[in-house]
Amino acid sequence: MKRGILVTADGEVFQGRSVGADGGRVGEAVFNTSMTGYQEVLSDPSYAGQVVVMTSPHIGNYGVTAHDDQAGSPAARGLIVRSMSRRHSNWRAEGSLASYLVAHDIVALADLDTRRLTRHLRDRGAMPVAVGIGMDEMELAGMAAAAPLMEGQDLATGVSTPVAYRVDPPGTPVGRVVALDLGMKRDIGRRLAALGLEVHVLPAGSGAHRMLDLDPDGVFLSNGPGDPDALPGQIAAVRGVLGRVPLFGICLGHQILGLALGANTFKLPFGHHGGNHPVRRLDDGRVEITAQNHGFAVDLWSLAGRDAPIRSGLAGPELLPEKVDGDFGEVRPTHQNLNDGTLEGLRCLDVPAFSVQYHPEAAPGPHDSLNLFADFMEMMGLAS
């Protein structure tokens, strides 16, 4: 049994047992509250540059299968769990989580006090950590202290597709969508194609002309990792598309749309990571349970020229403006996170565009927000 150590940038030390690859890694530690979906989490390109701490105590019991991978290879720097299942049992399983971690060179620790680590990150905020197998504690402490912060990092370009490709629907296409790959999960392409759309996936650096040259019925902005402010080219590309074709953005795509409208973004203390985040729909008050992974949020108050109100008590709609004026007309908030009151969705009233901060494609679930794809089809005039 190999022992491993995790050291945070502020000097906290955690001991564990190696259940993955050998070596040392650095990354921003974030805690994920999902009870299942660990393979989708590890292979989600949005986790580039991060070490994932699972708060659910028992991980790995149903194994892994290639169909659940959301990219060609995992982007996460490391995995931390309390207890790794010794056996896996599921009719879909093609191997164990431990073998998956070794095959993809992911450093992982089990038997670590994830409750203490999660409380530390919740109280101090997401921060760089160093994880090492057979490495000296002082060496890991130096690595963690020297690791770059997430602010200012363009991680989307590194996980985007290097070449354009197409995802075809099962039958005759009813429309064409351009998807800007900022770290797009595979199930998003599958979900769009299942609606009858011919999906043209373009690299993150593609400009507005390249997107519009494909004569799309709509443009989709994907999820992805890193700081949205570090993507001026993508912001300019979205500004070149707005008002010309319908646009739908999620996660990093939501943040890019917000910046293109003239709003600011800001770093959340420890982000939203997990498959159980409650989001209120502001139009009817209904609550959806959503899958999320992001460390930044859009500040619509920056378009109103004032600071956000100070929260007192439960998160309510008063923490968001009713409507603001952006660079492309009026913008209305549509969704709100019920844990901290931050913006989770917006809609442009003068150009056809809307976005949400979370992942509606249900990979992993829940399925509460699949209706957003139908809303996109309706905006494009393709609803049956």
Question: Of 28, 40, 198, 361, which one is the catalytic site residue?
Answer: 361
Question: Would you call 330 a catalytic residue per the annotation?
Answer: no
Chain center to CA of 254: 11
364 with 276: CB under 8 angstroms? Answer: no
State the Cα–Cα distance between residues 317 and 68, nearest whole angstrom.
36
Closest CA to 30 of 16, 17, 15, 44: 44
Which helix (DSSP H) or strand (DSSP E) does residue 219 occupy? Answer: strand 218-221
46 with 155: CB under 8 angstroms? Answer: no
Question: Of 28, 120, 198, 251, which one is the catalytic site residue?
Answer: 251
Q: How distant, in Å, are the alpha carbons of 47, 75, 241, 320, 368 from that of 285?
A: 31, 36, 31, 14, 14
CB atoms within 10 A of CB 331: 28
Rounded to 5 degrees, φ, ψ at 149 are -75, 165
State the Cα–Cα distance between residues 27 and 106, nearest whole angstrom.
12
Question: Would you call 137 a catalytic residue per the annotation?
Answer: no
Question: Of 273, 277, 294, 359, which one is the catalytic site residue?
Answer: 359
Q: Which amino acid type is present at position 228?
A: P
> Hey, is 283 helix, strand or coil?
coil
Question: Would you call 251 a catalytic residue per the annotation?
Answer: yes
Which helix (DSSP H) or strand (DSSP E) does residue 324 occupy? Answer: strand 324-326
State the Cα–Cα distance between residues 19 and 109, nearest whole angstrom.
6
147 with 295: CB under 8 angstroms? Answer: no
Length of the chain: 384
175 with 198: CB under 8 angstroms? Answer: yes
Q: How distant, in Å, are the alpha carbons of 83, 97, 110, 222, 296 from that of 17?
A: 10, 15, 5, 36, 32
Active site residues: 251, 359, 361
